[in-house]
Amino acid sequence: MNERPSDPVDVPALAALDADLPDAAEAAERRRAARTDPRAAEVLDALSTTRADLAALPEPEVPPAVAARWAAAVAAEHPEQFSSRPSGRRSRSRVLLAVLAAAAAVAVVVVGAPRPGPPVLTVGRVDLVAVATAAVGTVDVGALADPDRRQACLRAVLPDAAGLRLLGGRRVVLDGRPGVLLVLATGTRGGLDVVTVDPGCGPAGGTLLARVTVG
């Protein structure tokens, strides 16, 4: 036993060895020395366990609300973001938005008879932001898919939202009334304007059922 417990074990040198810092010859020499010192072996084990702990961290899921914020922020970078354009040219982040929306998981109650197309969602006011997050990238807004009609509707019921870029939307039933939820980019990074109007909203006017701004 030539151990000398009073001598502190050289953790930095062992950590360097563990990190493959010394050249091959020096590393071999240090490893040989470490094998004869239980305290050195203990340190190397501890470093190895630490690396294993780090590697075992699960990959975190991107929260849907965060994904929606990013999508809105990227959408806000588009130079034509606030223009009301013909539907021929779609959102620059359409693909991103669609994928992010697919990843979004929101608890909602699905009602309505089974039929082709997305179901109508019954939502409460407290659900609006969550539903809006999940709706990003989905365009199920009935007649309001027509940009001209949508803009006319917004001009009629909520002029300050007219011209905002549409990120997505869903048909919903809100407080027992049918409606169309529109997710609009406010133009500020991550900002969303969630507007719910009646399905017949258009040039002749309409009804604003709810509005929630995010960010």
**Contact positions vs other proteins (CB under 8 A):** 8-9, 11-12, 15-16, 18-21, 39, 42-43, 45-47, 49-51, 53-55, 57, 59-63, 66-67, 69-71, 73-74, 77-78, 89-97, 99-100, 189-190
Q: What is the DSSP string of 58-111?
A: PPPPPPHHHHHHHHHHHHTT-TTTTS---TTS--TTHHHHHHHHHH-----EEE
Instruction: Report d(CA 56, CA 178) in Å as an integer.
Output: 47
* Least distance between other proteins and beta carbon 127 (Å): 21
- For residues 59 and 159, which CB has a smaller minimum distance to other proteins in the complex? 59
Check if the beta carbon of residue 173 is closer than 8 Å to that of residue 122.
Answer: yes
**Distance of closest approach, residue 60 Cβ to other proteins, in angstroms:** 5
Distance in Å, CB of 163 to other proteins, minimum: 18
Which tokens in the block code for residue 6?
């009073």
Nearer to other proteins, 46 or 210 (CB): 46
CB of 26 to other proteins, least distance (A): 13
Of the pair 80, 175, the CB lying nearest other proteins is at 80
Looking only at the bridges linking them, the beta strands covering 192-197 and 177-185 are antiparallel
If the CB atoms of residues 21 and 143 are measured against other proteins, the closer one turns out to be: 21
Shortest distance, position 82 Cβ to other proteins, whole Å:
15
CB-wise, 91 or 196, nearer to other proteins? 91
Q: Where are the alpha helices (DSSP H) in 84-209?
A: 94-103, 128-135, 147-157
- Which residues lie below 8 Å from residue 34, measured CB to CB, with a gap of 6+? 14, 17, 40, 41, 44
